[in-house]
Amino acid sequence: MQKENLKERFYDILDGKGTDIPLAGTVTTSPVLELMDKTGAYRPEADRDPAKMAQLAGSLHSIAGFELIRFPFDVTVLGEAMGCNIDPGTRARTPAVLSHPYKDDPGGINVPSDLLRRGRIPVVLEASGILKSKEGKNVPLIAGLEGPVDLASYLCGVKYLLKQTIKDPGLLKDIIDRCADACILYAGACIDAGADAVVIADAMASPDMVGPDAFKEIIKPAFMRIADSVDGYIISHICGKTDSIIPDLLDCGFNGISVEENVGDLKYIANLAHERNTAIIGNVSTSKTLFSGSVEDVTKESLSCIEDGVDILAPGCGIAPESPLQNLRAMVEARNEYCSE
């Protein structure tokens, strides 16, 4: 593969120009234990030290062979900056939200004026600058953050959010709009710091959680505003079986959409996306294949994804820390094999 053209190919893909050679990498979280052992950059220290974050993230390319570098390694950074207490996790367990600071006053959510100086946001921005000066000269950098629905669930609690989809959807829409303001500010800062694109990861926006009607009426407007407001490439990742919301998701204006292996018809989704000049990313199973499958399993599923039309061959969701490094490499090799035929 032509390594010197990685950024060019990445931009072409997200500009809707298509590609004969899909990129291979990840736009989802990737705190792989074997990469920690090889670099000496271990989480949770690498979640809070910009040099270690950059070192571990860079190993996705230098060691695993991925053609994208995704950082940070979790999606609680905005939540922490907005006041959530966070369990820092361990090497094998990513950070988790422990408290919901607005559970008793959801209407009081506002974006702090000093948001970009809070919590781990400065760490991520500094790591972005480090990566840009090294691997990022030739390799696309992807900064990930939680989406507005996930952020709302962190601040108010999942139960509250789900109740409001029925009880008071107007209030919930307002809460999600305020969370979207935080996403826009942080995403823009990531682009300014050196990221080539941002990925908005929003598990709570899945129809498995809130349903397609709530997505269309409550979430879609916030997504559209994020896509319109961020001055740079922007990708959406939503967990679960998202088939029912794909048409609405494609209306939002994202440059690419990342889908899980649970979708019913990847080829159909890819065709819809390409009709809208939107890149499709995915969707090798993270649990069944990358984590517990063989190299042969990874190869077979990767080739199937390419046949179905993905523009970026990638895991369907966040990579489990214990996933074998050889399986990550096998994904890249499968793409190489396909494109050499």
For strands 197-201 and 279-284, give the pairing: unpaired
Cα separation, 177 vs 174, whole angstroms: 5
Judged against a pLDDT cut of 90, whether residue 341 lies above it is answered with no
pLDDT at 3 over 80: no
Cα separation, 237 vs 258, in Å, equals 5
**Residues 152, 176 contacting (CB under 8 angstroms):** yes
Give yes or no for residue 125 having a pLDDT over 60. yes
Whole-angstrom Cα Rg for the chain: 19
Percent of the chain with pLDDT over 70: 99
pLDDT for 42 beyond 70: yes
Q: How far apart are CA 265 and CA 278, in angstroms?
A: 17
- CA–CA distance, 222 with 331 (Å, rounded to integer): 34
Express as a percent the part of the chain with pLDDT over 90: 94
For 241-263, what is the mean pLDDT? 97
Who wins on pLDDT, 340 or 295? 295
Q: Render 65-113 in DSSP notation, one character per residue.
A: --SSEEE-S-S-HHHHHTT--EE--BTTB--EE---TTTT-GGG----T
The residue ranges of every structural domain in the chain are 3-340
Helix, strand or coil for residue 235?
strand
> Rounded mean pLDDT of 109-129?
97
More confident residue, 319 or 3: 319
Range with lowest mean pLDDT among 11-25, 63-77, 189-203: 11-25
Q: Which amino acid is at 89?
A: G
Select from 228, 178, 176 the least CA-distant residue to 202: 176
Q: Report the C-alpha gap between 73 and 88 in whole angstroms.
A: 12
CATH topology of domain 3-340: TIM Barrel (3.20.20)
Residue 4 pLDDT: 52
CA 248 to chain centre: 19
Task: List the 69-71 sheet strands across, edge first.
Answer: 23-24, 312-315, 279-284, 256-258, 233-237, 197-201, 141-146, 69-71
Ramachandran area for residue 211 (φ above 0: left; ψ -120 to 50: alpha; else beta):
left
In the prediction, which pLDDT does 2 show?
A: 46
Which amino acid is residue 239, in one-letter code? C
Question: What is residue 1's predicted lDDT score, i.e. its pLDDT?
Answer: 44
Taking residues 183-187, what's their average pLDDT? 98
- Rounded (10°) CA dihedral 34, 319, 46, 187: 150
